[in-house]
A and B are shown apart, each in its own frame.
Chain A
Amino acid sequence: MDFSRRDVIKTTAGLAAGALGASALGRSAFAQDGLKYQPEEGATLRLLRWSPFVQGDEDQWLANTQRFTEATGIQVRVDKESWEDIRPKAAVAANVGSGPDLMFVWFDDPHQYPDKLHDVTELGDYLGNKYGGWYEGPKSYATRDGKFVGLPLATIGNAIVYRDSWVKEAGFSEFPKDTAGFLELAKALQGTGHPVGFTHGHGVGDGNNYAHWLLWSHGGKMVDEAGNVAINSPETLKAIEYAMELYKTFIPGTESWLDVNNNRAFLAGELSVIANGISAYNTAKINKDNDPKLTEIAKDIRTTNLPVGPAGQSAELFQVTTAVIFDYTPYPNAAKEYLRFMFEEPQMPDWITSSAGYCCQTLKAYADNPVWTADPNNAAYAKASETLRPNGYAGPLGYASAATMADYVLVDMFAKAVTGQATPQEAMEEAEKRANRYYRV
């Protein structure tokens, strides 16, 4: 079985290579009027993407796809899966060698099976040159050994979402910019009965965003440049101690929170401050059921970036998504042409606009998208691609960084200490031990 499967992969890779060679001959001149791929005869494509968080994203992506189909005659089927199911689906597709031709994957996924992904370096360089270059963070997720194994699609930003009136009521005319001031604010808000809340549970997005912000804002890091575990450090200890102080001001139960809990409690008026994607604000703004209470909340919501800690610079994880083409696809040229079309003007800017601040551009030329100034609350999400720090900083992306995050090593380290199940020192040492299991080779 194993043998035959590999044979199949080899064969399809051979076919793909053959098709590539054939089309390279028939391609129209690259340097003159931009890059264009000649799709294979009778090509059809299937894209598997994550379910949208804001409806505009999906509608616009499908509309853009429709434009592509009208221009080329190639049918593209777009399927969607809940964002947390993408990773296993992509893993299975890569392993088995069959499935969708294209996929939107998350985080380190492209680094887990780079040899199963179609090389799109030519396309990546072309788009980068034409549109002001790629942002480093998203690019690092999509490139390996200097080659593009996917195209950086978007960064889902994360920012402080807060209730302006309650922050003012607590005696703060503006939201604090540093971690020390933020702790004071949290204490004051607890005093006025409007506590803050950040996810200490196994929420894939929110839990990891918060834990990484805690660590990085205090100068800690999971591994050094060479990939040796460096979590056991005075900086980490400071981060844990800070987290413990902050946790004391939280609404109870944050250690059980998954991704949805903070939005839900915030929109019900239980919380004054959360960290979230723009979806929390958009839900209140769109206000599907015309709930007058929610209208009031929407008017009161402000967003800002997470406070800067002793490390002196803002560094956050965010959620990064990459568009990849699997090597087994029989239509690599059609797939590349599709991605080229979708990443070019006017498709990509339209999509960013319709995503209502959820998807941050990965190409610098798209940074002046009107969406970022359409609503003052969108501004906090405008620079997500620019300021993000890749997972497993400062080490390389790959199996170890992906596995460490998937195992919630960092999330658990903070949760264990703040809930008093371990001293900061013990929590840190356990995290070191757990991380070492993955970074052993």
Chain B
Amino acid sequence: MVTYDSVRVSAPHRSSALSRLVQSRNALGLAFMLPASALLLVFLTYPLGLGVWLGFTDTRVGRPGIFIGAENYRFLWDDSVFWLSVFNTLLYTVTASILKFALGLWLALILNENLPFKSFFRAIVLLPWVVPTVLSAIAFWWIYDAQFSILSWGLQELGLIEGRINFLGDPENARASVIAANVWRGIPFVAITLLAGLQTISPSLYEAATLDGATSWQRFRFVTLPLLTPIIAIVMTFSVLFTFTDFQLIYVLTRGGPVNATHLMATLSFQRGISGGNLGEGAAIAVAMIPFLLAAILFSYFGLQRRKWQQGGGD
């Protein structure tokens, strides 16, 4: 009898503790966030933290390092190759991103029109993005070859140039060549994403604008662009990040040559950290990329996504 009673008494007691826990929004929220945050901690925060820490040590391959403060950064500060790679990275990112945006938007606008074989063209456009980077890089390596370039050959056959073009040997040519290859590869991502954005714009807005007598440029400027800005902000943030951290293309095409004219921070970081065995310095170069990346992200989030800007106004 006593046990029966105690069970009867304690049963609702226990269930209420459990149900309170289940019904508590905070506790439940925490529980649901746990897997995601564990993933973030293990796979993002920890490696990032380790990378930052390595940048402050003299760790080498096969030997744990000791804390040396900012010495890696001081050494990089005096290193002309590092500054060259910073310059190259900025040039590469800015030029390639602008080109990718302009050409991508153009392509998206064309694909948004009523073309025959529309879905076929849309599929074709995606190809450069679908091909693995290393494969397309090898294709470009042949296109840019000092001796067997099809471009040089074609132009020679047409009688337009005398000698072969030194695509990857001349510093300026080499930079232009790797940027062109990167643009070719990056356009589909921009174009298809912007196309998706374009299709969310209601046709009635264009009809209204047309009725008001807007020219096609005015329709683009005052209807399309403002409504597309949020997606432009996202797509360009990603595009800038991908370009800034590009590695495979350079590694296949030039390995940073000629005389480091195409070395990006990512490739230099690999060269010093892994090939050269200087993990600490390699990490420091990689960490030096973070401020630039943060700046790009902040610009996108606080700049491009601002309502006023989107509506064409100033601050």
Contact = CB atoms under 8 A, between A and B. Distances in A.
Contacts of A421: 171, 259
Contacts of B164: 252-253
Contacts of A256: 144, 146, 166-169, 174, 254, 257-258
Contacts of B169: 201, 252-256, 419
B278 interface: yes
B79 A437 contact: yes
Given A91-B62, A252-B164, A407 B276 contact: yes
Contacts of B50: 1
B258 A255 contact: yes
Contacts of B80: 430, 433
A53 to B, nearest CB: 19
Nearest to A417: B259
Interface string B238-261: 000000000000000011111110
Contacts of A1: 46, 50
Given A87-B274, A254-B169, A403-B272, A201 B62 contact: no
Nearest to A407: B276
Contacts of B171: 421
A190 interface: no
Given A252-B146, A264-B147, A402-B277, A112 B62 contact: yes
Interface size range of chain B in the complex: 35 or more
Interface in B24-55: 46, 50
Nearest to A91: B61
Q: Which secondary structure dominates chain B's binding surface?
A: loop
A406 B276 contact: yes
Interface in A160-205: 200-203
Contacts, number: 123
Nearest to A87: B275
Contacts of B260: 408, 412
Contacts of A264: 145, 147-148
B163 interface: yes
B277 A91 contact: yes
Interface in B267-305: 271-272, 274-278
A272 to B, nearest CB: 14
Interface string A1-34: 1100010000000000000000000000000000
B211 to A, nearest CB: 58
A251 B259 contact: no
Nearest to B53: A2
Given A87-B275, A257-B146, A403-B272, A202 B62 contact: no
Interface string B132-162: 0000000000001111100000000000000
Given A253-B147, A419-B259, A403 B62 contact: no
A78 B169 CA distance: 38
Contacts of B64: 2, 6
Interface in A262-279: 264-265, 268, 270
A256 B224 CA distance: 44
A416 B60 CA distance: 29
Interface centre among A113, A256, A270 (most CB of B within 10 A): A256
B276 A202 contact: no
A399 B276 CA distance: 8
B225 interface: no
Top 3 closest pairs, chain A to chain B, by CB: A113-B62, A253-B146, A256-B168
Given A256-B166, A399-B278, A415-B259, 18 more contacts: A87-B274, A91-B274, A95-B61, A112-B277, A116-B62, A201-B169, A201-B257, A251-B147, A253-B147, A253-B164, A253-B166, A256-B144, A258-B255, A265-B148, A268-B147, A415-B257, A419-B258, A434-B79
Interface of A: 1-2, 6, 87-88, 91, 94-95, 112-113, 115-116, 200-203, 251-258, 261, 264-265, 268, 270, 399, 402-403, 406-408, 412, 415-416, 419, 421, 430, 433-434, 437-438
